[in-house]
Amino acid sequence: MNTLLVKNIDHLATFDDARRELKDGALFVRGNVIEAVGTTSELAHLSADRVLDLGGHLVMPGMVNTHHHMYQNLTRVMVQDDELFVWLTTLYPIWAELDDEAIHISARVAMAELIASGCTTSSDHLYIQPNNVRLDSTIAAAQDIGLRFHAARGAMSRGQSQGGLPPDRCVEREEDILKDAERLIQTHHDRSRHAMTRIVLAPCSPFSVTPGLMKEAAQLARSHAGVHLHAHLAEELDEEVYCRKTYGMRPVEFAASVGWLGPDVWFAHAIFLNSDEIRQFAETGTGMVHCPSANMRCGQGIAKIREMLDAGVSCGLGVDGSASNDTSNLFLEARLAQMLQRVAPNRYLSEAPGGRGGFGGSPKALSARESLVMATRGGAELLGRDDVGHLAPGMSADFIAVRLNQLGLSGTQRDPLAAMIMCGPFKVDYSFINGREIISRGEFLDFDVEAALAAHAKVIRRIYRQ
Ligand code: ZN
């Protein structure tokens, strides 16, 4: 197996258990696994097939994106000024025209965008599968570009005629969804350490599937090791109204009633949780992914990240779909998470000892490092992975490097790690995933960005003609 020594790293942020940050750091990689982490002089005795000098760079673990709808980069900047339910009902008919080629090409572009901005592991929640769409084409895209991928078999089964939000032609039959989920697990799910592909089961939301499907998906996932569960929850007050009216329950009560609380479940958004529900998440190990751009874009509200972290809830970051975020950049989400938490009218914080009293915000609400922990270790935890999210011996060789000598980073020598989000976002100059060099000196090595964009533009012309 090939070995790689990365040395002279100006600032190596490991995010390991001790949160070590090393000056003049080094990494030794054998194949797809990190074998040693230390300073350049500590690792000087190791000889490698290849030596990469990353003087002038910051190196950190590749980030983990835990909520996305990649196909939505086909419908960016639409419905700019309306709330979620209007946004959804406008876009559903366009998405109904998608086919497998559109899904494959949009995923390729989305993955390139994620990797260029520092992500090395991503989930994708594909909840609309009209025409000949299959999740396999997104998995193929990930394998081609080299992204570590948790493909979430999303689904909608409750159309308008059954009291759901999506048009009937966007939904699938529940037996077909479950059969396809089983097929995907058998075909693609790899439970081994350093796996590049895992399957997630992900009915879309309480207002687009039935309780029966939620229960059966949970049962199916739990009969296969390492298959996790994902859905949207408590994203909108309209959803809470829907749950009360339809099920006579709050969204978290609904989730509990269908067996959807546990360490194998993570929800997107979880904005409208009260303190009891936050405790319930912590006690059951249920995770949440915070998507600040999308929450701001749709004017939804601010998730109580500070209170959740203090309660012990597993929190990660997600870019959310490209149509409700319009960017897909985890550094940016980490920045916005930090900033947004600080302006939140946070009763929990303001009533804590030393708080301001009343409902003001606080600059102590979330630090840059806490936000970056969510983007790395936090996301890994949501996906059930102990092999990515930090840099230590035995971990997957997933790391990124950002050049420090560039506009926007001047004067940050004292804390280049915080600068990644407080001054950014920045693009990566190097990205290694599972030991494979994907980006070198700021360019993809085996991926033609121009060709992918041209194919994407062609799909757009075809879809909109229809
Ligand atoms: Zn979403």
User: If you measure from the C-alpha of residue 274 to the centroid of ligand 1, how many angstroms do you get, rounded to a whole number?
Assistant: 21
212 shares a domain with 102: yes
Res 348: pLDDT: 72
User: If you measure from the C-alpha of residue 127 to the centroid of ligand 1, how many angstroms do you get, rounded to a whole number?
Assistant: 9
Res 351: pLDDT: 72
Residue 252 in any domain: the answer is yes
CATH number of the domain bearing residue 88: 3.20.20.140
42 shares a domain with 106: no
User: If you measure from the C-alpha of residue 465 to the centroid of ligand 1, how many angstroms do you get, rounded to a whole number?
Assistant: 26
User: If you measure from the C-alpha of residue 68 to the centroid of ligand 1, how many angstroms do you get, rounded to a whole number?
Assistant: 6
How many distinct structural domains can be found in the chain?
Answer: 2
Res 356: pLDDT: 65
Res 357: pLDDT: 63
Residue 451 in any domain: the answer is no
> What is the pTM assigned to this prediction?
0.97
User: If you measure from the C-alpha of residue 268 to the centroid of ligand 1, how many angstroms do you get, rounded to a whole number?
Assistant: 6
User: If you measure from the C-alpha of residue 230 to the centroid of ligand 1, how many angstroms do you get, rounded to a whole number?
Assistant: 10
Selection from 177, 128, 124 nearest residue 150 by Cα:
124
Do 1 and 31 touch, CB atoms closer than 8 A? yes
Whether 207 shows a pLDDT value over 90: the answer reads no
The dihedral of CA 165, 100, 111, 63: what is its sign? positive
Half-sphere exposure at residue 122, Cβ-oriented, CA atoms within 13 angstroms: 35
User: If you measure from the C-alpha of residue 364 to the centroid of ligand 1, how many angstroms do you get, rounded to a whole number?
Assistant: 28
User: If you measure from the C-alpha of residue 205 to the centroid of ligand 1, how many angstroms do you get, rounded to a whole number?
Assistant: 9
User: If you measure from the C-alpha of residue 456 to the centroid of ligand 1, how many angstroms do you get, rounded to a whole number?
Assistant: 21
- In the chain, the percentage of residues whose pLDDT exceeds 70 is 98
Give the Å distances, CA to CA, from 39 to 4, 11, 253, 398.
15, 10, 50, 18
- Which of 51-65, 73-87, 191-205 has the lowest average pLDDT? 73-87
User: If you measure from the C-alpha of residue 36 to the centroid of ligand 1, how many angstroms do you get, rounded to a whole number?
Assistant: 37
182 shares a domain with 46: no
163 shares a domain with 266: yes
User: If you measure from the C-alpha of residue 322 to the centroid of ligand 1, how many angstroms do you get, rounded to a whole number?
Assistant: 9
The residue segments making up the domain with residue 31 are: 3-61+390-444
Residue 158 in any domain: the answer is yes
- Which of 74-78, 81-85, 244-248, 305-309 has the lowest average pLDDT? 81-85
Whether 361 shows a pLDDT value over 90: the answer reads no
User: If you measure from the C-alpha of residue 7 to the centroid of ligand 1, how many angstroms do you get, rounded to a whole number?
Assistant: 39
Per-residue pLDDT tens over the stretch 367-412? 999 999 999 999 999 999 999 999 999 999 999 999 999 999 999 9
User: Which residues lie at CB < 5 A from ion ligand 1?
Assistant: 268, 320
Reported confidence tier of residue 84, pLDDT bands at 50, 70, 90 = confident
